Amino acid sequence: MITAKPEVGQPAPPFALPDHTGAVHRLDQYAGHWLVLYFYPKDDTPVCSREACGFRDDMGAIKALGAHVVGVSLDSPQSHASFREKYRLTFPLLTDTGGETARRYGSHFQFACLRFLKRHTFIIDPRGRIARIYRSVASSRHSREIIDDLRELQSIPPTRDKD
């Protein structure tokens, strides 16, 4: 099944995914706020840990810009709970076991029986539209890049929807 990748300016594909406690997070819960939605391959691997810790360390600056961070992988809620505790992560990690949400965002990869999520990030604006897409992520500086881009995006006056 091939799904079109979303583009900047389009409505963000909806999602409803559980976090490490079983609480379901939905895209519409973040309406009116900036959302940094990032997909990553696997809990507790070196690169994924570096990326998550970058978001953790820069959370003050991200929150000051009115943004929320949410991570998504194929891992179980139990794996997320352990990962969050080990690295003291302060943002939700959501479980996309079947990969459906990742497919809608063009972030799911499957080759034979190997399945994983690509390291992609989406900034979603307060109206629920995709404002920025990162399909190539350098985990060591990604959170700082997000902060810089949120500042830039927020300096642009909002435009009215034509629909």
Which are the catalytic amino acids?
Answer: 48
How many residues in the chain? 163
Q: How far is residue 13's CA from residue 93's CA, in Å, rounded to a whole number?
A: 18
Cβ(71)–Cβ(40) below 8 Å: yes
Our measurement of the distance from residue 124's CA atom to the centroid of its chain's CA atoms, rounded to an integer in Å, reads 9
Nearest to 67 by CA among 104, 102, 105, 37: 37
Does residue 33 contact residue 1 with C-beta atoms inside 8 Å? no
Contact by Cβ (8 Å): 73, 43: yes
Q: How far apart are CA 50 and CA 41, in angstroms?
A: 13
